[in-house]
């Protein structure tokens, strides 16, 4: 049917002027509202029955929902529900996000209106829009969507509720609940979307992992050393690793048990670590096979901290660089390689001198490279244990080192460990 035919049909059903109906229909379609939904909305405006059978979308199993479906009706179990405030077209809007499931699969949803459902509820969602998000269908619940209690509980193989171990959190997760111990915490002032805002930033841990945390609406119960249950948190990627985000909608509750967390980072093979993607805190052991260019005595842009080459910052052009020390060392354990990046202090420790010593050495030799050369002589060919945060992207795998120590392991033990790993 053409737009004109739809308008004709509506106008005669409702007994109103066709031109007016056509105008409304056109503007709704401009906003990508599916045609049946647009017609339903116009029927409502004129007091007509919006639940006309012509506008009812097909009921579908979740496994059959595709981004090509304009809108669907589905009977589902609510797995999770998270709340978040977003700025949409200049206005703050509270949205709910989470997952629905049935016996065929699960699907993410975003609700732009407040609907009466909670995790565990079995509901029929009528006329939800299907959108594509990162290649997968997602349901959007808006003004034209109806939510009704299902006549029978919906069976699903998926767990209801957002409880997860830290190791299982992934960027994009919404409405999650975790029980953690706060291991590190700082209060910081940031320049947010509403001016200067105070936030908490730290590290939380459970039996399975350590992850960075940001509390955008500081909660008094989040204190260093406290064991807490955090409900309705979301996860996003920050510097290559998952970050736990607490908001004004999250609840924070002190636990009367202590959450036990390992005091050391998990040790992994380099190949395995790189394959797993970003890891917040990990220990790798390998031989330094090369100290890369850009190591030793370097200059950084005073504005952004990027390394300055020939007095030029990539972002700020001509700048007066500030001296710094850095090492980019390639670590190899036979299963893979990673570039360990050492900060000023760790570099000073392996160099055996501070920035002033390095500048003196460079002046004496009339060559900055002597500093990197000295570091090469000291560490290439030796085995090190490196602990830090691993990020993996198109530029390769980088381990931002917090600890860098010559390995005290017996090489024979390590070799048998590796062989055992290969045999598994
Ligand atoms: Zn710069």
Q: How far is the CA of 96 from the centre of ligand 1 (A)?
A: 39
Q: Is residue 154 part of a domain?
A: no
Q: Tell me whether residue 161 is in a domain.
A: no
Show the domain range for 339. 270-423
pLDDT in tens, 359-396: 999 999 999 999 999 999 999 999 999 999 998 887 88
Residues 275 and 362 in one domain: yes
Question: Measured in angstroms, how far is the CA atom of residue 84 from the centroid of ligand 1?
Answer: 34
311 alpha carbon – ligand 1 mean position (Å) = 10
Is the same domain home to 325 and 303?
Answer: yes
Dist. CA 387 → ligand 1 center (Å): 28
CATH code of the domain covering residue 281: 2.40.50.140
The single-letter DSSP state of residue 259 is P
Kindly give the pairing relationship between strand 195-205 and strand 146-149: unpaired
CA atoms within 13 A on the CB side of 94: 9
- Position 158 in a domain: no
Report how far ligand 1's centroid is from the alpha carbon of 312 (Å). 8
Q: How far is the CA of 344 from the centre of ligand 1 (A)?
A: 18
* pLDDT on residue 52: 42
Q: What is the pLDDT of residue 44?
A: 73
Q: What is the pLDDT of residues 124-180, one digit of tens each?
A: 999 999 998 878 899 999 988 999 999 999 999 999 999 999 888 888 888 999 999
**How many A from CA of 321 to the centre of ligand 1?**
9
* Distance of CA 308 from the midpoint of ligand 1 (Å): 8
Q: How many separate domains does the chain show?
A: 4
Q: How far is the CA of 341 from the centre of ligand 1 (A)?
A: 19
One domain, residues 16 and 71 = no
Distance 307 CA to ligand 1 centre (A): 8
277 and 392, same domain (yes or no): yes
Alpha helices in 18-58 (DSSP H): 18-30, 35-45
User: Is residue 291 located within the same domain as residue 202?
Assistant: no
User: Separation of 306 CA from ligand 1 center, angstroms?
Assistant: 6
CA of residue 204 to ligand 1 center, whole Å: 32
Q: Ligand 1 mean position to 191 CA, how many Å? A: 19
Q: How much distance in Å is there from the Cα of 310 to the middle of ligand 1?
A: 13
Q: Is residue 262 part of a domain?
A: no
Q: How far is ligand 1, taken at its centre, from the CA of residue 293, in Å?
A: 19
User: Residue 369: which of 312, 305, 301, 294 has the closest Cα?
Assistant: 294
* Dist. CA 284 → ligand 1 center (Å): 31
Residues 133 and 33 in one domain: no
Q: For residues 290 and 340, is the Cβ–Cβ distance under 8 A?
A: no
- Ligand 1 centroid to Cα of residue 228, in Å, is 40
pLDDT digits (tens, 9 = 90+) for 288-333: 999 999 999 999 999 999 999 888 999 999 999 999 999 999 999 9
**347 pLDDT above the threshold of 90:** yes
Question: Which comes out higher in pLDDT, residue 417 or 334?
Answer: 334
User: Has residue 156 been placed in a domain?
Assistant: no
**Is residue 159, in this structure, part of any structural domain at all?**
no
Tell me how far the alpha carbon of residue 80 lies from the centroid of ligand 1, in angstroms.
43
pLDDT at 90: 78
Query: Is 184 found in the same domain as 131?
Result: no
The pLDDT, as a whole number, for residue 409 is 62
Distance of CA 39 to CAs 24, 53, 377, Å? 9, 12, 76
Based on the domain organization, do 182 and 206 belong to the same domain? yes
Q: Is 416 helix (H, G, I), strand (E, B) or coil?
A: helix
Give the distance (Å) from ligand 1 centre to CA of residue 342: 20
Determine the distance separating the centroid of ligand 1 and the alpha carbon of 301, expressed in angstroms. 5
Backbone angles phi, psi at 370, to 5 degrees: -60, -30
Task: Determine the distance separating the centroid of ligand 1 and the alpha carbon of 227, expressed in angstroms.
Answer: 40
- 286 with 384, same domain? yes
Burial track 240-249 (b if 16+ CB lie within 10 A, e otherwise): bbbbbbbbeb
How far, in Å, from the CA of 320 to the mean position of ligand 1? 10
- Convert the pLDDT of each residue in 187-196 to its tens digit: 999 887 778 8
- Strand-pair partners of 290: 330
The pLDDT value recorded for residue 423 is 45
Q: How far is the CA of 375 from the centre of ligand 1 (A)?
A: 26
Collapsed DSSP state (helix, strand, coil) of residue 60? coil
Ligand 1 center from residue 194 Cα (angstroms): 26
Provide the pLDDT for residue 48. Answer: 60
**Higher per-residue pLDDT: 156 or 281:** 156
3-state secondary structure 197-228: EEEEEEEEECCCCEEEEEECCCCCCCCCCCEE
351 and 314: one domain?
yes
Residues 337 and 215 in one domain: no
Within-domain flag for 259: no
Among 53-67, 179-193, 283-297, the minimum mean pLDDT is found in 53-67
Task: Provide mean pLDDT across the span 45-62.
Answer: 64
Residues 389 and 370 reside in one and the same domain: yes
**How many Å apart are CA 76 and CA 104, to the nearest integer?**
10
Look at residues 226, 254, 282 and tell me which one is the last residue of a structural domain. Answer: 254
Q: What is the pTM (predicted TM-score) of this model? A: 0.64
Task: Specify if 396 maps to a domain.
Answer: yes
Q: Find the 305 Cα to ligand 1 centroid distance in Å.
A: 6
Inform me whether the pLDDT recorded for 281 exceeds 60: yes
């Amino acid at each position: 049917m053409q737009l004109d035919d739809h308008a004709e049909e509506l106008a005669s059903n409702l007994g109103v002027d066709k031109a007016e109906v056509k105008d409304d229909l056109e503007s709704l379609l401009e906003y990508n509202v599916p045609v049946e939904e647009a017609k339903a909305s116009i029927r409502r405006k004129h007091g007509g029955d919006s639940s006309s059978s012509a506008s009812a979308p097909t009921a579908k199993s979740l496994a059959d929902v595709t981004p090509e479906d304009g809108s669907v009706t589905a009977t589902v179990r609510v797995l999770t529900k998270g709340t978040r405030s977003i700025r949409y077209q200049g206005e703050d809007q509270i949205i709910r996000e989470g997952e629905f499931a049935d016996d065929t699969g699960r699907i993410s949803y975003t609700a732009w209106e407040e609907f009466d459902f909670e995790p565990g509820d079995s509901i029929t969602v009528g006329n939800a829009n299907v959108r594509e998000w990162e290649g997968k269908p997602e349901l959007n619940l808006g003004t034209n969507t109806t939510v009704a209690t299902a006549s029978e509980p919906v069976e699903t193989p998926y767990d209801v509720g957002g409880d997860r171990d830290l190791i299982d959190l992934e960027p994009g997760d919404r409405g999650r609940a975790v029980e953690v111990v706060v291991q590190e915490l700082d209060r910081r002032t940031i320049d947010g979307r509403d001016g200067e805002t105070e936030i908490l930033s730290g590290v939380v841990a459970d039996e399975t992992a350590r992850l960075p945390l940001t509390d955008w609406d500081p909660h008094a119960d989040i204190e260093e050393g406290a064991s807490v249950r955090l409900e309705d948190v979301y996860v996003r990627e920050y510097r290559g690793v998952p970050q736990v985000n607490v908001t004004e909608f999250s609840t924070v509750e002190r636990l009367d048990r202590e959450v036990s967390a390992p005091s050391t980072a998990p040790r992994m093979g380099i190949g395995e670590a790189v394959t797993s993607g970003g890891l917040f805190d990990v220990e790798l052991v390998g031989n330094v096979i090369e100290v890369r260019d850009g190591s030793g005595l370097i200059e950084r842009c005073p504005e952004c901290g990027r390394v300055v080459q020939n007095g030029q910052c990539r972002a700020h052009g001509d700048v007066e660089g500030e001296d710094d020390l850095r090492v980019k060392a390639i670590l190899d354990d036979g299963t893979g390689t990673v570039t360990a990046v050492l900060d000023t202090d760790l570099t000073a420790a392996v160099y055996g001198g501070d920035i002033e010593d390095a500048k003196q050495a460079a002046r004496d030799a009339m060559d900055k490279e002597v500093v990197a050369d000295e570091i090469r002589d000291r560490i290439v060919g030796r085995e090190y244990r490196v602990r830090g945060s691993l990020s993996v992207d198109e530029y390769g795998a980088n381990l931002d080192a917090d600890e860098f120590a010559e390995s005290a392991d017996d090489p024979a033990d390590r070799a048998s460990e590796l062989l055992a790993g290969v045999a598994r």
